[in-house]
Structure 1
Amino acid sequence: MSGVAPDTPETDTGPWYRGVTRYQWLVLAIACAGWVFDVYEGQIFNLTRNDLLGDLLENPEAGRQFWGDAFLAIFLAGGTIGGLLFGSLADRYGRSPIMIVTILMYSLFSGLTYFANDIYTVGVLRFLVALGIGGEWAVAASLVSEVFPKRARAQASGIFHASSILGTWLAALAAMLVGVHWRYAYLLGVLPALLIVWVRASVKEPERWRAQKNSEHANQLGSFNTLLLDPRWGSVAIRGMLLAAVGLGTFWAVTVAGQDLMRELLLSNGVDEDTAGSRAKFAYGIVQAAGGGLGLLSFGPLCAKFGRKPTFIAFQALALLIVPITCFVPQTYWQLIVLMPIFGFLTLGMHSGFAIYFPELFPTRIRATGASFCFNGGRLMAVPVLLLSGWLKNLDTISLPTAVTVLSSLFIVGILIMLTLPETRQRDLIED
């Protein structure tokens, strides 16, 4: 089976999954599997970096913060470049072959990290891993949106992005399992290479893309000129990128800080450093991640019911409220552990919206290009936020809770951007 035809008139009665075919579920499962390992590759560094940098740096205490932030910046830059490159190639040459290339890239270079013996080799490998990760998201998000019918698109795309939480859990479990032996966690990153066989055997090009390949617009497939210079798409692409920059910037500056907030609280309560580190990993990687996963899963149904714009705005407005509460109210481990799932739900949930919303903003001939420009361009735009975050959190005059609360003000920017973007809830995918 080659996918679904462009949307046809359909009723909205019954559950969203009624009528979804076996092939459509298969595509969703493959896209989710690829995204799970995408997220694993990103999170495993966040969870193992202290041990990695401790082994590879001559003076770990002096260089740990600098190299930790530098590697995150390298990862964001690699994701941007890979997303733009492979998103365009997916529009030109098809979803399936480019998905295979991107999965192979991040699997291979993650596994090679096992053999790295210096900090510069790790930096190069993290950049190459990020190239594949950035590209895979754009291809998978476009593929899901094109294969599923309109009535099921928001929920399916939301499930696709929400599967990221499995990647976070997998990374947390791997980090706790390997302990200080961080190399084995990267060796596990070779496993998604097995997905290539599944993708090659199962995924066919969507009929939407094949129609564009044979149309008068074939010369515009994957064209950045069409994306950025056509007034219908250029302005939307820029605003979408800024929206993603807010989401990704607050993820690295605010959401990820849950681990540090818990660690700092435990240390202030007299818990020893090793125990505090282990319990903070569990609190962030399992408990907070569970709340984040529920937020990601909830975003799709809420988008389908209330619209894309109201859902984005509501999540960001509520995130503005939960961040200072989480930062300043808890005084004990259990008080903070209760708040962390809510914190994760509201600060992370909007990320599902990127997989739902961005492919709906652009026509088929530049869908992966446009979605990738928004999401992965947002990665690059988030780098200054990451650097600002590192600077604020290291100031002696500002506490970590204060720094995280200040950084959460970026959600206000996200609300303002969302007010200028179109609503796509009742709209078919654009073909012209």
Structure 2
Amino acid sequence: MHFDDSLPARPATDVRPGLDDAPWWRGVTSYQWFVFVVASLGWLFDTMDQQLFNLARKPAVTKLLDATPGDPATALRVDEFGGYATSIFMIGWALGGIVFGVLGDRIGRARTMMLTVLCYSAFTGLSALSRGFWDFAFYRFLTGLGVGGQFAVGIALVAEVMPDRARPYALGSLQALSALGNMLAATCGIVLGRMEEAGTIGSAWRAMFLIGLAPALLAIPIFLRLKEPERWKAAAREEEADASLAGGPRPAHKLGSMSEMFGDPRWRRNTIVGMVLAFAGVVGLWGIGFFSFDLIRTVFRKHFEAQGLPAQQIAGKLTLWTGIASLVQNAGSFLGIYAFTYVTARIGRRPAFAISFLLAAAATSATFWLLDDLWQVFVLVPIMGFCQLALFGGYAIYFPELYPTRLRSTGTSFCYNVGRLVAAAGPLTLGLLTSRVFAGYVEPMRYAGIAMCSVFFLGLLALPFAPETRGQPLPE
């Protein structure tokens, strides 16, 4: 199969005749579509692995701590250690994102993407073999390394290969398709929950992690077909030329240079803004939103116990309903990311972020306060997913626009993952608020989640300092 990548991304003003008012996908070459599909699959499977962890976390931690499901004496300890496991995963995610982000600029987007896919799929599979909490946490840390690196290199690759007129829509679509990865994980949870309820399998959570091995197959087309973008090749040649003229290995503009990213006032400001935006959204999603599954398990367990169901059947039903909740949450997420993509193309990046932060705070608070019955899963949870994940569509579109080619992978990854590193305190904080501060309340996770929704307002504070990039070409 032959792909034409002879057409590098054009400046925003260089639009091929007849395409000004055409759909964004008109004029995209076959190779550009191939890059989009591969990068989208890499991120789709990445998010599938993330969601498998969210769905399997509580039963896994309960089993590995040898706790009794539904026992109030151990429930708070399970919640606390679930927060530890999530924070450890997010620390690995942040560190891996920074390391692989720099590698993406220095050794190339394609090679780095292959390494990240192999890393996150292999260690997700190994999580199924855990025998205690700390080896489970160790595998989650290593999985996080690969998960963190995938986002930035995939985003940089698509941003540099796609024509400028198609870029925001392609990046928004890539992020929206990640919701399909979450929905795929949710479907696995539903099927495995049915099997566990029927007694066909013993531990659905181990089977979920084994499924996470499958994305390793994506490394094959990456290795065989994916090439480095022309923009990156040009930046690499420029670095070599600078080094040659300088008579040494330290050119003025080095690929993936942290010193330039923080030494230049323009890139430094963009980095700080990006970090704050990412921190607010990531804490909102990983420190609050994804813990709605644990809230669902706590609330619905009472319903099922009141029906007099046996423990094995309750375990299966809880896995089933958290899978359903994940499915509808990510259906909302898919629509939310697409909505952000089209809104930001019309009114700009900053107004779109402002609207999304306000809606996310309102929807998340409402979900944690009101969710109390099975039917509400189909109303509150998808609305929360729509509002929270819309922000992540913004990150995919906005962060690559803040940096030149030589810093794009490093900068995008740094914003997203240092924000995530700080945000790793979010799940830990939620766990401590639940088990310590609000421990005397009925269903303390409700109060902890609502208290933490204040983090969305931090994102609003960064927006006055954020550059507006709508309609502008990528910086060089």
Task: Give TM class, smaller chain.
Answer: over 0.9
Q: CA deviation at 1:229?
A: 1.8
CA deviations on 1:194-227 (whole Å, 9 max, x unpaired) are 1111112221111111111111567410111111
Matched residue, 2:338: 297
| 1:362-406 alpha-carbon deviations (Å, 9 max, x no partner) | 000010000000011111010222222112223224543332222
**222, 232, 235: which is aligned to 2:269?**
235
The residue aligned with 1:7 is: 10
1:199 pairs with 2:222: yes
Deviation at 1:262, TM superposition (A): 3.6
CA-to-aligned-CA distance 1:270-319 (integer Å, 9 cap, x gap): 46654762454134211122111111222212221221111111111122
Cα offsets for 1:138-196 (capped at 9, x unmatched): 10010011111111111110111112212212222223333424222222222111111
Q: Of the candidates 418, 430, 435, which is equivalent to residue 389 of structure 1?
A: 430
Secondary structure of 2:265's aligned partner: coil
How big is the shift at 1:234? 1.3
Q: CA 1:113–1:253 in 2, change beyond 3 Å: closer, same or farther?
A: closer
For the pair 1:110 / 2:124, whether they are aligned, the reply is: yes
Q: Distance in 2 between matches of 1:281 and 1:3?
A: 47
Pairing 1:19–2:33 present? no
Answer whether contact 2:88 2:424 (CA < 8 A) is retained. no
The residue type equivalent to 1:396 in the other structure is A
Match of 1:322 among 321, 341, 363: 363
Matched with 2:407 is 366
Q: Percent identity?
A: 38
Find the aligned partners of 1:123 and 1:365 in 2 and give their Cα distance.
35
CA distance in 2, matches of 1:46, 1:320: 21
How far apart, in 2, do the equivalents of 1:176 and 1:275 lie? 9
Partner of 2:71: none
Q: Where do 1:25-424 residues align within 5 Å?
A: 25-59=33-67, 61=74, 63-178=77-192, 179=196, 180-216=203-239, 219=251, 220-267=254-301, 270=306, 273-274=314-315, 277-278=318-319, 280-329=321-370, 332-394=373-435, 395-398=438-441, 399-424=444-469
CA distance in structure 1 between the aligned counterparts of 2:372 and 2:405, rounded to whole angstroms: 51
Contact residue 3 and residue 204 of structure 1 kept, 8 A: no
User: Please, which moves more after superposition, 267-276 or 315-324?
Assistant: 267-276
Structure 2, unaligned runs of 5 or more: 69-73, 197-202, 244-250
Q: Distance in 2 between matches of 1:151 and 1:96?
A: 23
**TM-score, normalization by structure 2:** 0.85
Q: Secondary structure at the match of 2:95?
A: helix
**Are 1:262 and 1:283, in contact at CA under 8 Å, matched by a contact in 2?**
no
Partner of 2:246: none
Query: What per-residue deviation string (whole Å, max 9, x for no partner) do you get for residues 25-64 of structure 1?
Result: 1111111111111112222122112332233224463742
Change in 2 beyond 3 A, CA 1:311/1:41: same
Aligned-partner SS, 1:182: helix
Counterpart Cα distance in 1 of 2:290 and 2:215: 24
State how far apart, in whole Å, the 1-side matches of 2:287 and 2:139 are.
24
**Greater CA deviation, 361-370 or 36-45?**
36-45
Answer whether contact 1:247 1:351 (CA < 8 A) is retained.
yes
Residues 69, 330 of structure 1: CA spacing in aligned structure 2 closer, same or farther, 3 A cutoff? closer
Aligned pair 1:430/2:468, yes or no? no
On the 8 A contact 2:295/2:446 being kept in 1, the answer is: yes
Return the letter of the residue paired with 1:325.
A
1:97 Cα deviation after fit: 0.8
Deviation at 1:326, TM superposition (A): 3.0
| Structure 1 residues 129 and 263: CA distance shift in structure 2, 3 A | closer
Deviation larger for 170-179 or 41-50: 170-179
Partner of 2:199: none
Aligned residues: 431
The SS at the match of 1:44 is: helix
Which stretch shows the higher mean deviation, 153-162 or 365-374? 153-162
* Residues 108 and 190, structure 1, Cα contact 8 Å, conserved in 2: yes
- For 1:144, give the aligned amino acid: V
TM-score, structure 1 length as denominator? 0.93
Deviation at 1:330, TM superposition (A): 5.5
Q: Check whether the contact 2:190–2:321 (CA below 8 A) recurs between aligned residues.
A: no
Once the two structures are TM-superposed, the CA of residue 417 in structure 1 deviates from its matched residue by: 1.0
Q: Bigger radius of gyration, 1 or 2?
A: 2
In the alignment, residue 205 of structure 1 is paired with which amino acid? E
Name whichever of 366-375 and 112-121 sits farther off: 112-121
The one-letter amino acid of 2:455's match is L
Q: Could you say if the C-alpha distance between residues 12 and 411 of structure 1 is closer, same or farther in structure 2, counting changes exceeding 3 Å?
A: farther
